Amino acid sequence: MYYPQTTFKNTTFHGPSLLKTTRETISKQTLYTQLDLLKSTGRYDCFKLEWHPKYDDNTNWPERKHLFWDCDIAKWIEAACYFLMEQYDARLDNAVQEIVGTISSAQQEDGYLNLHYQVVDPGARWTNLRDMHELYNAGHMIEAALSHHQYYHNDLFLGPIVKYVSLMRKTFGARENQIHGYPGHPEIELALLRLYSMTGNEDAYDLARYFLEERGNPSGVNGRHYFDVEAEERGDVPWKRPDAHPMAKSHQYSQAHEPILEQQTIEGHAVRAMYLLTGAADLLCLDKATVQPLGDLRHQWYDAIRRLWDNMVDKKLYLTGGIGAIKQWEGFGIDYFLPQGTDEGGCYAETCAAIGVVMLAERLLEVDLDSRYADMMELCLYNAILTSMSLDGNAFTYTNQLASSHQDKSTREEWFECACCPPNLARLFGSLGGYLWDYGGTKDGAYVNVHLYTTATLAFTIEGEEVIVKQSSAWPWEGKISFTIQAPPTLQLTLRLRVPEWAHGQFKLEPNHACSEQLEKGYIILPPSYTSYTPEFTLDIQGFQPRLIQPHPYTNQQVGAIARGPIVYCAEDIDNPWEHNHFKDVWIPSSTSFRQEWRRDVANKPHEHVAIHTSGYERSYPEWENKPAGTGPGLSVQTPKKISRLQRDLCFIPYYLRANRGGRGQMRVALPLEL
């Protein structure tokens, strides 16, 4: 299998694009800002294993704030190495080397490595796999070490980490003298499988597979659930539980309510679910290469992942690609429970969860090349994810509501105590080239599958011969993409090009080719007979007129949102200064028409976008407002002609642009819709 975290090196963002601009912001600004924050908050030096005043902070049991320091550092290292591979930067390079030095010097004799259990609570390691993020942190360390190894080509980080993996392999497993547990927060599974894929480390494969297979076992320890036994051994009764657990023994939060293969619906913590399923999908991707093939279990794993994917996408996903309505457990509500904001019942849509969707989608494209996965990858990337960082790269959102409210305005923060999202974004964009396309094969049958459009060049070799595929476009604003192919004339190269669902199969290929008329699972197939004789061609994907989209009627959201190409729009008070109630009362008729405005700002490139103007009206509810307080829950139905309304011009901007241009923090993606 291939990993985008490896293959991205073959991609160059060669010309201007929204993705390139964002990557530059991250490399020129975000990584430095985050580095400064790592230093000022104590994270940078934490593996010197000295006491820090923060460790005394025991609010929010059991997730003490320093529990995430290991992974905050690890994700930053991972991101920094991706960008270093592209361009040397002395400051980043020095910092990575210094942190890695302290990490490796902190490792215990037997390989153990974890800030909390080495400094704050020594002697208690592996006693709370459910809550303490011990194995989660180990997972991010593995990923950081892999990235470090790719850049530095040495084992200064990977060596200690492999030793740690070896310790964990001995510690966890089905044997009697092993712990029959698994992490409350999955992550290490996908990290271990990446380690296995890159190094062949069988400890890593075995351990990941054990974690994946054992998870959720209701009778894993003497007929009981591991987390129940573990809690009991700590002296905790079932009713002692973290705030994120709504009920006693509600193991959904830890993705341990059922074994993965038995889960029918996606539940609990959204990030954990995505990381876990990405790991599970990796089992499938790696299957051919392992000594322990899944055999008959293969279709069961695929069915389970696919079933959970379908449940999520069809019933638990926001129009922006965000997942997770519920703040308490940062995760999924019941089917079709997708309120847009806090005042309607919640809208969490954590940045990291959307990143998790991208990771899972990318893996599923390897298992089954189907544009449904790439469509979702693109939806999340340009909307739920891109919206989480300010244009200047210095401020972030952790959650990504679709509508602001009096309680939760549309704003950004510079940093978070649990700072998972900002560096996660940085490592995703660092390796972004790997998500655009995949490639492989032999001279007799090579392929490039293009999932995302932008302006970029892919260069790789097949059996020693170089293949270069170049795409240039004004995506996501325009649908025309120019391709050039440079490949040896004898190479049997098949190019597959995604046609997004919202294009409804409408595209123009120039020069045309009969074979392109039949899409295969959403991809145009350009066979060797085309690619060999057509070094330059253009693909023009339709669907860049504004469209009105709505969620499923069972969501009880009688609303419509504006989308254009892959971009979902929102209204903000900065463009609609009359607004005062978070667009709660602003209705758009389903028959509304749109006017597009190219907003170009040469002085400030990242601000460029297509704004969309339309008209709607503000409804007022005099019959409700005039009802004396405390006099009954219902009113007689108003016929439409009696509804009080005021015509309004409306301006919408891309959702990712929100909270960048001032204003009063009033924003909404989908507005009430009058059919």
Rounded Cα distance, 664 and 186, in Å: 38
- The region of 10-18, 302-310, 390-398, 411-419 touching a second copy under the rule CB under 8 A is 302-310
Among 177, 219, 591, 647, binds a second copy (CB under 8 A): 591
Q: Which is nearer to a second copy, 197 or 342 (CB)?
A: 342
- Asked if 257 contacts 335 with a C-beta cutoff of 8 angstroms, the reply is no
Rounded Cα distance, 454 and 473, in Å: 6
- Asked if 87 contacts 156 with a C-beta cutoff of 8 angstroms, the reply is no
Residue 620 binding a second copy, by CB under 8 A: no
CB of 131 to a second copy, least distance (A): 10
Q: Which is nearer to a second copy, 333 or 423 (CB)?
A: 333
- The region of 9-17, 94-102, 147-155, 619-627 touching a second copy under the rule CB under 8 A is 619-627
- Asked if 453 contacts 565 with a C-beta cutoff of 8 angstroms, the reply is no
Residue 345 binding a second copy, by CB under 8 A: yes
Q: Which is nearer to a second copy, 246 or 293 (CB)?
A: 246
CB of 641 to a second copy, least distance (A): 10
Q: Which is nearer to a second copy, 506 or 556 (CB)?
A: 556
The DSSP string of 31-69 is HHHHHHHHHHHT-TTGGG----GGGG---STT--GGGGH
494: tokens are: 């098949």
Rounded Cα distance, 133 and 147, in Å: 21
CA distances from 175 to 227, 250, 294, 415 (A): 18, 27, 21, 43
Rounded Cα distance, 485 and 618, in Å: 52
Q: What are phi and psi of 179, to 5 degrees?
A: -80, 130
Q: Locate tokens 């669902």: which residue?
A: 501
Among 122, 293, 520, 554, binds a second copy (CB under 8 A): 554
Q: Which is nearer to a second copy, 552 or 599 (CB)?
A: 552
217: tokens are: 């076992």
Separation of CA 140 from chain center = 15
Among 47, 55, 172, 309, binds a second copy (CB under 8 A): 309
Binders of a second copy in range 528-547 (CB under 8 A): 547
Rounded Cα distance, 560 and 351, in Å: 23
Among 122, 334, 533, 601, binds a second copy (CB under 8 A): 334
Residue 636 binding a second copy, by CB under 8 A: yes
Q: Which is nearer to a second copy, 304 or 462 (CB)?
A: 304
Q: Which is nearer to a second copy, 244 or 446 (CB)?
A: 244
For helices 158-171 and 202-214, give the axis angle rounded to 10 degrees.
Answer: 50
Among 49, 124, 549, 646, binds a second copy (CB under 8 A): 549
Among 321, 565, 616, 654, binds a second copy (CB under 8 A): 321
Binders of a second copy in range 203-262 (CB under 8 A): 236-243, 246-248
- Classify the C-alpha dihedral 425-430-431-432 as positive or negative: positive
Binders of a second copy in range 370-399 (CB under 8 A): 372, 375-376, 379
CB of 422 to a second copy, least distance (A): 25
Rounded Cα distance, 545 and 651, in Å: 15
* Euclidean distance between the first and the last CA atom of the chain, given in angstroms as a whole number: 48
Residue 411 binding a second copy, by CB under 8 A: no
Binders of a second copy in range 650-669 (CB under 8 A): none
CA distances from 657 to 18, 75, 186, 567 (A): 12, 25, 31, 11
Q: Which is nearer to a second copy, 632 or 662 (CB)?
A: 632
Q: Which is nearer to a second copy, 149 or 668 (CB)?
A: 668
Task: Say which residues have a Cβ less than 8 Å from residue 392's Cβ, sequence separation at least 6.
Answer: 25, 29
Rounded Cα distance, 207 and 186, in Å: 13
Q: Which is nearer to a second copy, 633 or 662 (CB)?
A: 633
CB of 436 to a second copy, least distance (A): 20
Rounded Cα distance, 34 and 27, in Å: 11
CB of 662 to a second copy, least distance (A): 28
CA distances from 605 to 86, 99, 152, 187 (A): 22, 34, 34, 36
Q: Which is nearer to a second copy, 374 or 436 (CB)?
A: 374
145: tokens are: 């070490």
Residue 6 binding a second copy, by CB under 8 A: no
CB of 631 to a second copy, least distance (A): 4
Among 335, 417, 478, 608, binds a second copy (CB under 8 A): 335
Hey, which residues does 363 pair with through a beta bridge? none
CB of 550 to a second copy, least distance (A): 5
- Asked if 608 contacts 600 with a C-beta cutoff of 8 angstroms, the reply is yes
Task: Say which residues have a Cβ less than 8 Å from residue 585's Cβ, sequence separation at least 6.
Answer: 618, 619, 620, 621, 672
Residue 630 binding a second copy, by CB under 8 A: yes
Site string for a second copy, 62-101 (x = CB under 8 A): x---------------------------------------
Q: Which is nearer to a second copy, 6 or 265 (CB)?
A: 265
Rounded Cα distance, 177 and 175, in Å: 6
CB of 358 to a second copy, least distance (A): 15
- Asked if 399 contacts 387 with a C-beta cutoff of 8 angstroms, the reply is no
Binders of a second copy in range 556-585 (CB under 8 A): 556-558, 560-561, 563, 584
Among 53, 464, 489, 640, binds a second copy (CB under 8 A): 640
Rounded Cα distance, 358 and 563, in Å: 20
Rounded Cα distance, 310 and 554, in Å: 16
- The region of 21-29, 77-85, 313-321, 477-485 touching a second copy under the rule CB under 8 A is 313-321
Binders of a second copy in range 498-527 (CB under 8 A): 501
State the number of binding residues for a second copy (CB under 8 A).
77
CB of 560 to a second copy, least distance (A): 5
Binders of a second copy in range 160-199 (CB under 8 A): none
Among 176, 464, 629, 662, binds a second copy (CB under 8 A): 629
Q: Locate tokens 């003490």: which residue?
A: 64
- Classify the C-alpha dihedral 587-593-599-605 as positive or negative: positive
- The region of 264-272, 293-301, 446-454, 633-641 touching a second copy under the rule CB under 8 A is 633-641
Site string for a second copy, 36-65 (x = CB under 8 A): -------------------------xx---
Which amino acid belongs to residue 192?
L
CB of 387 to a second copy, least distance (A): 15
CB of 219 to a second copy, least distance (A): 19
Rounded Cα distance, 42 and 667, in Å: 35
Q: Which is nearer to a second copy, 48 or 580 (CB)?
A: 580
